[in-house]
Amino acid sequence: MKALFEGLFTVFKHLFMKPVTLEYPEKKPEIPDAFRGKPVVKGCIGCGICQKVCPSGAISIVKTMQGEVISYVIDAKKCIFCGNCEYYCPKDAIQMTKDYELASEDKNDLKFTYRGGEDD
């Protein structure tokens, strides 16, 4: 009997408390500025520094013989969203965005491709 009243008391107490969960995806959480989501590339010169500092080998860059960037790919299956690429890029060409909704049923969607160093 005591346990029943304790349970009821807990239920009533929580009726008047602010919910700690959100009705996602209808309601979205506020994302802090320091959040590291999907990396986006724009204005890449193909120096390759980001590739060297990426701890998980998630970045592939294809260049012409003259060093022009043909394609720049970040594999989200490997990326650990550490932000090293953004931090070390001398041209500020990589931005870690607030985009966290990256789930997909097709693993090909998890390769972010930028042609010529720009958004695809």
Q: Which residues of this protein are in contact with ligand SF4, per CB under 6 A?
A: 39, 41, 44-50, 54-56, 58-59, 61, 74, 79-85, 89, 91, 93-94
Whichever of 6 and 120 has its CB closer to ligand SF4, that residue is 120
Whichever of 21 and 108 has its CB closer to ligand SF4, that residue is 108
Please state, in angstroms and rounded to a whole number, the distance separating the CA atoms of residues 12 and 1.
17
Whichever of 7 and 67 has its CB closer to ligand SF4, that residue is 67
Q: Can you name the residues that pair with 41 across neighbouring β-strands?
A: 94
Q: Can you name the residues that pair with 96 across neighbouring β-strands?
A: 39
Please state, in angstroms and rounded to a whole number, the distance separating the CA atoms of residues 42 and 11.
52
Backbone angles phi, psi at 67, to 5 degrees: 90, 10
In the bound complex, what is the minimum distance in angstroms from residue 32's beta carbon to ligand SF4?
17
In the bound complex, what is the minimum distance in angstroms from residue 10's beta carbon to ligand SF4?
42
